Amino acid sequence: MKSKELNFDGLIGPTHNFGGLALGNLPSSKNQYAVSYPKKAALQGLEKMKQLHLLGIPQGIIPPQERPYLPALRKAGYEGDDQQILEKVAQNDFKLLLQCSSASSMWTANAATISPSADTQDRRVHITPANLISQAHRAIESDQTTKILKMIFFERRHFVHHPRLPNHESLCDEGAANHMRLTPQAGHQGVELFVYGRHYENEQSPMPAKFSARQTFEASKAVALTHQLDESRLVFLQQNPKAIDAGVFHNDLIATTNDNFFLYHEEAFLDKEQKMKEIQEKYAQFSSKPACLIEVKKEMLTMDEAVESFLFNSQMITLPDQSMILIAPLQCENSRAKEVINWVIEGDNPVKNVHYFDLQQSMANGGGPACLRLRVVLTEEEYYQIHHSFILEKLHFGLLEEWIKKYFRDEIHVEDLKSYEFLCESRQALDKLTQILNLGSIYSFQ
């Protein structure tokens, strides 16, 4: 059956700020407490969605989460009405306020892991929301993410929703940012690649020295098991601890796949030669041609340059004519990463072009093009069984642009997050968004 890949981008929310909350995320730490520009950020993200739509790629959207998130503050022991709670937490625990005000749900690559029906034993799409427990500001996203995913993929004959993994440090799960897939073509069976940073149960396993590894092997294995994936088409790869210490907090900063194409840095993985051999052996079960594995040597691009440019966080897209393009951040055009991109395009592989996008506001917080999207492969029948209020059509882009320009502030200082007036503004913006997209009441304040 013919299939298509959808990209569900996170719409950047009105509280976009630089709280510097993400340990191991170098841009986040570097820009802590800098002035942010939410209107510009949201328009930059929307422009990427619009251009992919114009290229013929089905484009979905995931609304921003409610921020500041007062239900989390109430669970933390703060009492009173909304204004009183905001004033108390601003005075007593500003970091907690920052954690409950982050717009990090924009990076939907961390929303969930999704396995297409072609790979699963029961031939249904399997969905597991990430628990994101390694970072406090992201751990509060999971409930709303689960709610939205169940709204989008509501039909039970085609979609299976698993609960997030238990909130235990042995099961730290960061979603699709640590999940890849190789297949001859969307809709065919594929080899699913799960990337982890550490073995929780094996103390002898290599570990980073500077930053903690966010994804555990145990979490990756649990997701693969619940998704009913065949072990013969499954590969687990461990991140190189050196990469994590260099700022590769998720695999999608150092490796990426699309259909039969795999682009990765020389220093991305441990046991690299053995793992690439395993991938090709398992891929050969359903393809007479080997997968196209392209390794970028450190002489071409150092690990530090890869992290700074976000080259490997480029979004790889198969166009309707079956050619591939890179959706790369503008930073790649002004660095040695451009030489690597040109080398890839000129090589013997499916990638034939590149489009550069200005995503500076997201990048300054540690998220490039691929961070902003959750990719989902669906058959035509499955596609017609999803909630199409979350699929963007031509009309939506103008409406959303007007919405952003009307409701988003030009700039935010982190001190603005203490303001009750700003809380009301943010809620008003989200309430209007649910009307534009015809979503009904999805937020706690509605």
pLDDT in tens, 253-266: 999 999 999 999 99
**Dist. CA 62–CA 149, nearest whole Å:** 9
| Residues 40-71 pLDDT 10s | 999 999 999 999 999 999 999 999 999 999 99
Residue 425: closest CA among 35, 76, 50, 86: 86
Q: What percent of the chain has pLDDT over 90?
A: 98
Q: Under the phi-then-psi rule, with left for phi > 0, alpha for psi from -120 to 50, and beta for the rest, what region is 310?
A: left
Q: What is the mean pLDDT of the chain?
A: 97
190 with 227: CB under 8 angstroms? no
Q: The sheet that has 373-379: what strands, in order across it?
A: 59-62, 3-10, 373-379
- Average pLDDT over every residue of 436-446: 97
Q: Which amino acid is at 114?
A: I
Residue 214 pLDDT level (bands cut at 50, 70, 90) = very high
Which residues are identified as catalytic? 174, 250, 371
Q: Alpha helix locations (H) across 332-411?
A: 337-346, 360-363, 380-383, 394-407
pLDDT attached to residue 335: 87
pLDDT attached to residue 1: 64
Write out the H or E segment, with its range, that includes residue 329. strand 324-329
- Average pLDDT over every residue of 94-116: 98
Residue 8 pLDDT level (bands cut at 50, 70, 90) = very high
| Residues 294-351 pLDDT 10s | 999 999 999 999 999 999 999 999 999 999 999 999 999 988 999 999 999 999 999 9
- Average pLDDT over every residue of 80-96: 97
At 412 the three-state DSSP class reads strand
pTM, entire model: 0.97
- Average pLDDT over every residue of 280-303: 97
- Average pLDDT over every residue of 410-437: 98
Task: Say whether pLDDT at 189 is over 90.
Answer: yes
Task: Say whether pLDDT at 209 is over 90.
Answer: yes
Task: Write phi, then psi, for 265 (nearest 5 degrees).
Answer: -85, 150
Q: Which amino acid is at 369?
A: P
Q: Which amino acid is at 347?
A: G
**Dist. CA 92–CA 418, nearest whole Å:** 11
Q: What percent of the chain has pLDDT over 70?
A: 100
pLDDT attached to residue 2: 86
Answer positive or negative: Cα dihedral of 209, 215, 216, 217. Answer: negative
Q: Alpha helix locations (H) across 1-128?
A: 26-30, 38-54, 70-75, 82-92, 94-99
Please give the C-alpha separations between residue 284 and each of 28, 148, 167, 258, 276, in angstroms, as whole numbers: 41, 37, 37, 17, 12
Write out the H or E segment, with its range, that includes residue 236. strand 234-238
Task: Say whether pLDDT at 111 is over 70.
Answer: yes
Which residues share a beta bridge with 238? 196
- Average pLDDT over every residue of 163-192: 97
31 with 19: CB under 8 angstroms? no
Bridge pairing between strands 179-182 and 191-196: antiparallel
pLDDT attached to residue 343: 98
